[in-house]
Homo-oligomer: A and B are copies of this chain.
Amino acid sequence: MFYVVGLGLCDEKDITVRGLEVVKGSARVYLEAYTSILMVQKERLEAFYGKELILADRDMVETESDEILRNADTEDISLLVVGDPFGATTHTDIILRARSLGIPTRVIHNASIMNAIGACGLQLYNFGQTVSLVFFTETWKPDSFYDRVKENVDLGLHTLILLDIKVKEQSEENLARGRKIYEPPRYMSITQAVSQLAEVEESRRGGTLTPDKTLAIAMSRVGGEEGQQRIVSGTLAELLAQPPEVFGEPLHSLVILGRRLHHLEVEYAETYAVDKEIWRRVAKDVYGCVLE
């Protein structure tokens, strides 16, 4: 059997009991290192599982899937992925490959940012499509995400924005020379994300992401312990004005609020507001939310 096991969001204890049993019973266990980064290192997982883990970057999962699947028809092989196997990055290709080789597969689900984002207090069924925001460079500022956010905002829906992660990035020089030397991982900060949103709003002028009229919630290390998880809510202008350390350690996510806003959602997120009065005023006056 080929298992794809979701590890959840934070550390070694977020695996499910079933997932842990599968890991312990597997002949080989791969750990996918690309998608996003757990808050703990491989060694800590290995100690907890009592198992050696084989690191598999995204390249390997894509190009060497047959090696990962070797003997999975006769023994149990697991691939561990951060979050849920069908979360932000899906693992449909390797499962399709297993199927074509006649290997039975099973997915062990877990929390992913796509549902845990509900921790900010907004109702998941009022979220529209999810968008990704990539690092802008001097010459490359892809802004098609703006159209997606606008579609959501026009319908009154919330938007989860996933912030870019650069892992195994090569410098232009190393790339040109074919040297497999990689830069340290980079995670987009809330400050950078909000400033990129402002830049795109400035050029598009669609009125979708107005600095002082758009409410947003910044989240970091969702699902983490008190002190690790951080939630900060405010207008885009307020978030931009915060010192970066307010938002905690990566990974970060950002939610743009839509007009379909229940007063309980506003009250829940008010706890995390930069300025509670501004938060309530914008929710009332701009979003039309009826507050007590």
Asked if A244 lies at the interface with its beta carbon under 8 angstroms from chain B, I say no
Chain A binding surface, main DSSP class: mixed
Given contacts A17-B15, A109-B115, contact A87 B124 (CB under 8 A): yes
> When the two chains form the complex, which single residue of B14, B112, B268 contacts A16, counting CB atoms closer than 8 Å?
B14
Asked if A226 lies at the interface with its beta carbon under 8 angstroms from chain B, I say yes
Give complex CA distance A267, B99 in Å. 12
Range of interface residues on A (Cβ < 8 Å): 35 or more
Residues B107 and A110 in contact, CB atoms below 8 Å apart: no
> A1-45 toward B: CB 8 Å interface, digit per residue (1/0)?
000001011001111111011000000000000000000000000
Residues A126 and B123 in contact, CB atoms below 8 Å apart: no
The number of times this chain is found in the oligomer is 2
Among A89-97, A170-178, A206-214, A249-257, the stretch in contact with B: A89-97
Give complex CA distance A111, B127 in Å. 17
Instruction: Please report which residues of chain A, range 99-154, place their CB below 8 angstroms from some CB of chain B when the two chains form the complex.
Output: 99, 104, 106-112, 114-119, 121, 123-132, 151
Residues B125 and A129 in contact, CB atoms below 8 Å apart: yes
Residues of B within 8 A of A128 (CB): 128-129, 157
Residues A125 and B131 in contact, CB atoms below 8 Å apart: yes
A144 nearest CB across to chain B (Å): 13
Residues B123 and A90 in contact, CB atoms below 8 Å apart: yes
Give complex CA distance A126, B88 in Å. 11
Residues of B within 8 A of A242 (CB): none
> When the two chains form the complex, which single residue of B14, B93, B131 contacts A18, counting CB atoms closer than 8 Å?
B14
Residues A111 and B129 in contact, CB atoms below 8 Å apart: no
Complex A-B: 10 CB contacts under 8 Å = A17-B17, A84-B111, A86-B117, A87-B124, A88-B124, A92-B265, A96-B268, A109-B223, A111-B115, A125-B162
Q: Known pairs A8-B110, A17-B20. 9 more at Cβ < 8 A?
A: A14-B109, A16-B16, A92-B265, A93-B264, A114-B118, A125-B131, A128-B128, A129-B155, A129-B157
A residues neighboring B (CB under 8 Å): 6, 8-9, 12-18, 20-21, 84-88, 90, 92-93, 95-96, 99, 104, 106-112, 114-119, 121, 123-132, 151, 155, 157, 162, 222-223, 225-226, 264-265, 267-268, 271
